[in-house]
Structure 1
């Protein structure tokens, strides 16, 4: 009888711990980030927003896109200031100017994506859901392509200046968080594509 009581106590304890783990938003974020290409960065960037995200896959994707947008704006501002510095090589200067334009497009595409995803709290049928989420996926993919194009513009042995190092570092970070955001958007789409709910989780 004592052994059975101990077994029952251990079973109930393990079930309780499982419920606690599954209700923990930090655990939800860590589990969701496994679907991304850069899981450690994903977890690090999203944990601060755990109370906002809770266990909502829609909210998770929105916050991830918001982080991408914030870093894209920061990178764009930094590159714009860098372009005004004197002594930059002509080829580096052209690549920097191209990157400013590219990052401007990225900011626009990510902004549209966040707005589109935010509208998905309303009721959509399967076809409407697919249309709206497809728009988001297209724009985020384009933003990711833009970021990689900016980085590629500084490739080659002739581009070894300080501007290259500084810009590549920042834009690479934007590309990584954008890649993660796209993975989380795709995860949200896969899990809710067949639903017809008024308030998506």
Structure 2
């Protein structure tokens, strides 16, 4: 049991945004990130995750939405790795093992949806009118689906314990990141339709 507790503590020790972007930020670039993040449910987390993208975003709603979905995708992939390790922890109960395996399958769908969303956002760089609406509808649907799958994963444990606590903690974090991404995608859509092409 001590080995299980130790492994879980090691696995949940650190949670961070997997951004993969670098570069110094300017006040103007950061102001845009902060203002945009105010429209999300978790503004501090939004700012934390996207601050390293400020230079590349440069006030673009489209690039910000893509960055947010990319962060969500990276964190979701990281969560899959984390949860996969739990399946191999010594001492895990059979019911917990099944819940972990179900969660991994559900999260694989989340990764697929977010990957499709990033690709779709790439295609939207020069689209307008009905083409824009079609691509945007796909992105909103897929990011929403990814968020639903993440929530299903965190609710899939029928037995309390450290495995459930570890998964729930990680999935709450990932769901918040994805919720922020969805809010920024929706913000991009609304501003684009109003003719604000920042």
**Normalization by structure 2: what TM-score?**
0.83
- Aligned partners of 1:125 and 1:161: how far apart in 2? 50
Bigger CA drift: 164-173 or 58-67?
164-173
> CA offsets, 1:89-136, max 9 Å, x none?
1221111010000111111100000000111112x2311111100000
Q: Which residue of 1 aligns with 2:109?
A: 105
Contact 1:129-1:193 within 8 A present in 2 as well: no
Q: Which residue of 2 aligns with 1:6?
A: none
Equivalenced residue count is: 173
Query: If you compute each CA radius of gyration, which structure gives the higher value, 1 or 2?
Result: 1
Q: CA RMSD of the aligned region, Å?
A: 1.7
1:41-190 counterparts in 2 under 5 A?
A: 41-122=45-126, 124-154=127-157, 156=158, 159-190=159-190
Displaced runs of 4+ in structure 1, greater than 2 A?
Answer: none
CA shift, 1:50, in A, is: 1.0
- Aligned to 1:35, what secondary structure does the other structure show? coil
- Aligned to 2:160, what secondary structure does the other structure show? coil
Contact 1:61-1:181 within 8 A present in 2 as well: yes
Q: Gapped runs of 5+ residues in structure 2?
A: 1-26
**Normalization by structure 1: what TM-score?**
0.81
